[in-house]
């Protein structure tokens, strides 16, 4: 169930409270992805983000990284649904920074503004998916919820169609999308042609059996 973005007040914890929560968090961790509290009060840790992207993404090759102009070495493809990635972040990192880091990690050339981070949580035997604001801090949410992903998990999605700034897409990206759609249309057409050719063959075979002199 998707709900409107929640506006949860950020509770500012004292350094002692953060220390206690981190100790409690680490004692419950089962995958060795623990949090670390630094002397300045900033803590670091890991979050897992599930990718739920409906549209193709554009990925740069290692040779084309850092170039401003669109490169022929950029490829658009659909990411497999349910892919999960792990990021090491700090308590100061915002949702927007997490999205940018996630895209950079996998050489995604698309504009980060096309994406949004959601949190998925369980409340009263219901699963809710809520869009996070750009200024929220995912590691703080992870710390408060504890390490169990059943209680809280993060999901990367595109903005809803009505929210997408299509002008943010480059011409090569749009052309790649069209090529993918053309290929999918052609593949489906070939499947249909093959299916009906098989039907036609069976019908002609049946007709020959009926019309055969006996």
Verify that 149 and 171 share a domain, yes or no: no
Q: Is residue 187 part of a domain?
A: yes
pLDDT at 2: 47
Tell me, what CATH number does 44's domain have? 3.10.20.90
Q: How far is CA 53 from CA 50, 68, 149, in A?
A: 9, 25, 20
Name the residue range of residue 48's domain. 15-59+71-161
pLDDT tens digit sequence for 113-128: 889 999 998 777 788 8
157 and 204, same domain (yes or no): no
- pLDDT, residue 110, reads 82
* pLDDT of the residue at 3: 47
For residue 81, what pLDDT is reported?
74
Number of domains in the chain: 2
Task: Find where tokens 């059996």 sit.
Answer: 209
pLDDT at 70: 47
On whether both 142 and 172 belong to a single domain, the answer is no
Q: The pTM is what?
A: 0.66
List the chain residues with pLDDT less than 70: 1-11, 61-73, 160-169, 173, 212-214
Instruction: State whether 79 and 126 are in the same domain.
Output: yes
- Flag whether 96 is in a domain: yes
* Residue 149 within a domain: yes
H-helix segments, 74-130: 95-105
The pLDDT, as a whole number, for residue 168 is 63
| Same domain membership, residue 179 and residue 155 | no
Answer whether residue 3 is part of any domain: no
Q: In this predicted structure, what is the pLDDT of residue 61?
A: 66
- Kindly state whether residues 34 and 119 are assigned to the same domain: yes
Q: Cα(first)–Cα(last) distance of the chain, in Å?
A: 65
Q: Are residues 42 and 107 in the same domain?
A: yes
Domain match, 78 and 33 both = yes
Q: How many residues does the chain have?
A: 214
Contact 93, 132 (CB under 8 A): no
Same domain for 140 and 37: yes
- DSSP code string of 49-71: EEE---S-EEEE-GGGTT-SS--
């Amino acid at each position: 169930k998707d709900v409107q973005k929640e506006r949860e007040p950020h509770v500012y914890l004292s350094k002692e409270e953060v220390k206690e929560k981190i100790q409690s968090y680490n004692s419950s961790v089962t995958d060795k992805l623990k949090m670390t509290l630094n002397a300045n009060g900033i803590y670091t840790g890991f979050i897992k983000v599930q990718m739920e992207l409906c549209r193709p993404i554009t990925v740069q090759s290692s040779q084309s990284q850092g170039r401003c102009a669109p490169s022929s070495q950029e490829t658009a493809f659909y990411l497999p649904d349910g892919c999960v990635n792990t990021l090491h972040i700090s308590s100061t990192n915002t949702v927007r920074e997490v999205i940018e880091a996630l895209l950079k990690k996998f050489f995604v050339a698309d504009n980060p503004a096309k994406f949004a981070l959601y949190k998925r949580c369980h409340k009263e035997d219901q699963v809710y998916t809520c869009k996070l604001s750009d200024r929220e801090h995912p590691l703080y949410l992870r710390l408060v919820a504890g390490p169990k992903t059943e209680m809280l998990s993060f999901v990367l999605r595109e903005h809803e169609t009505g929210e997408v700034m299509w002008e943010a897409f480059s011409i090569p990206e749009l052309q790649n999308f069209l090529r993918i759609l053309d290929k999918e249309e052609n593949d489906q057409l070939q499947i249909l042609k093959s299916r009906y050719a098989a039907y036609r063959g069976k019908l002609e075979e049946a007709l020959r059996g009926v019309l055969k002199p006996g």
